Amino acid sequence: MNGICFLWLFWFSICHADSSVYREADRNQVDSPVLKYLLDPIHEVIITQRGANVTLPCILRRKPRSYKVKWSKINPVDPLESLIIISNGQHHKNYDKLKGRTRLRRSHRLDASLVITNVSLEDEGRYRCELVNGLEDQSLVLMLQLEGVVFPYQSADGRYKYTYAEARQVCEVHDGRLATYTQLYQAWTDGLDWCNAGWILDGTVRYPVIIPRGPCGGDLPPGIRSYGPKDKTKDRFDAFCFTSALKGRVYYVHGPMNYNEAAEACLARQAVMAKVGHLYAAWKFSGLDQCDGGWLLDGSVRFPITEPRDHCGGLPDPGVRSFGFPHKQQRLYGVFCYTQV
């Protein structure tokens, strides 16, 4: 009987010990903090201009024994991210169309920040810095935002002539890209009031209204009107383009001259006729103010006003005024020239 009791006590002690060890391990798993290798950024939105150099910060708290840092750009319409650069702390490899304009800053041994040189309009967007470290992968996301200006663009043949693809192309031709909703919203808060609907980058069709009126949504309050998503291949609208600061300058040459004479006047000065995006950028960032219509490369005639006054378009707010697309043989206007020097 004593032997049976001894065996029973021995078995109980083993089971009890196993149970205690198991619970202790489980408690440790719950309570133990996960090592955090990446510092949270002070600013999640980095603002810059076209042509500038910018740094997207990514700093390690500590270096794991074995790891890789991967930078990628997040495409909102594509689940696959675009790889930019991968580094193991010693060597790196560049990818994508940013190749040649990106590098890791490496100002100290825990620095994995991304440097982008000569920022372009297409560089705007969300970027991910990811620490690849086996089961402890961590990442942070930063938004690169460009200061710029949105301008509506309408065909010389009248309004609503562009499919989505054509709208993207026409913005690029005129030194811009299709505006994002955020850019259009910012332009609206800055005073853009436009009653014609246009494509934006996400494939929706919208227009900004500051002063409600009959043809522009009636008595609805001010805001961004929306037509919702449309058929990108069949439906036709105008375009809302976005541009940023430019290298070089835009200046005015007095006329009168027709379109061909205007082109020759710019060439004689080692310049070219300005694009619409050039004129908007010069108005926005250089304060270009000219109360005279001038030819642009697309055949339109416009003029920029930073200080509204009598006989300069008749509108109380700053902006770029338009005479539309006059016949190119008319000798009534000067020309806006653009030079990169």
Q: In terms of domains, do 130 and 54 share one?
A: yes
Whether 173 and 232 map to the same domain: the answer is: yes
Range list of H helices, the chain: 2-31, 164-173, 181-189, 259-267, 276-286
Whether 5 shows a pLDDT value over 70: the answer reads: no
Tell me the per-residue pLDDT of 155-194, one tens digit each, with 9 for 90 and over.
999 999 999 999 999 999 999 999 999 999 999 999 999 9
Task: Let me know if residue 325 belongs to a domain.
Answer: yes
Are 138 and 185 in the same domain? no
Count of domains for the chain: 3
Tokens of 20: 């205690």
pLDDT of 14 above 80: no
Mean pLDDT of 107-123: 93
pLDDT class of 26 with cuts at 50, 70, 90: very low
Q: Residue 324: CB partners within 8 Å, gap ≥ 6?
A: 300, 301
What is the residue range of 124's domain? 45-146
For residue 95, what pLDDT band results from cuts at 50, 70 and 90? confident
- As a whole number, mean pLDDT of residues 280-301 equals 97
Residues 289, 306 contacting (CB under 8 angstroms): yes
Is the same domain home to 53 and 109?
A: yes
Q: Is residue 286 part of a domain?
A: yes
Residue 200 resides in a domain: yes
Q: For tokens 């050039």, name the residue.
A: 278
Cα–Cα distance for residue pair 337/279, rounded to 1 Å: 9
Are residues 172 and 187 part of one domain? Answer: yes
- The CATH number for 107's domain is 2.60.40.10
Residue 126 lies in a domain: yes
Contacts of 146 (CB under 8 A, 6+ apart): 47, 48, 49, 50, 119, 121, 123, 124, 242, 244
- The gap between the terminal CA atoms of the chain, to the nearest Å, is 106
**pLDDT tens figures, 30-44:** 444 557 889 999 999
Output the average pLDDT for the chain.
Answer: 87
